[in-house]
Amino acid sequence: DAKTTQPPSMDCAEGRAANLPCNHSTISGNEYVYWYRQIHSQGPQYIIHGLKNNETNEMASLIITEDRKSSTLILPHATLRDTAVYYCIVTYSSASKIIFGSGTRLSIRP
């Protein structure tokens, strides 16, 4: 079973920040939080990952709470191309298998 809980759907206005929450209350100390997204009929795409500290890359920012029981993916300026299903995943490093939950379907309004 997936170890994360996400809202089934969200929407956001184009140009605004999209904040996608994820609960992972049973995360263990050496498990990472990964985010992937899947645009319709394509393979998933890696976005970002983190262990304890907040992370930022060219695609997004990841905010992890101090107790690590939840996190938020932030797309700073959402565009129509960000419409996708976003998956929050908790897993160990080193080629461990990934179990996908149901994800959040993000819709961007023009």
Q: Which chain residues interact with other proteins by CB under 8 A?
A: 32, 34, 36, 38, 41-46, 49, 85, 87, 91-103
The CB-based long-range contact list for 27-32 (8 Å cut-off, 24+ gap) reads 27/3, 27/68, 27/69, 27/90, 30/92, 30/93, 31/3, 31/90, 31/91, 31/92, 32/90, 32/91, 32/92, 32/93
Q: Which is nearer to other proteins, 18 or 87 (CB)?
A: 87
Q: Which is nearer to other proteins, 45 or 65 (CB)?
A: 45
Q: Which is nearer to other proteins, 17 or 54 (CB)?
A: 54
Minimum distance, C-beta of residue 15 to other proteins, in the bound complex (Å): 28
Minimum distance, C-beta of residue 46 to other proteins, in the bound complex (Å): 5
Please give the structure tokens belonging to residue 15: 């140009």
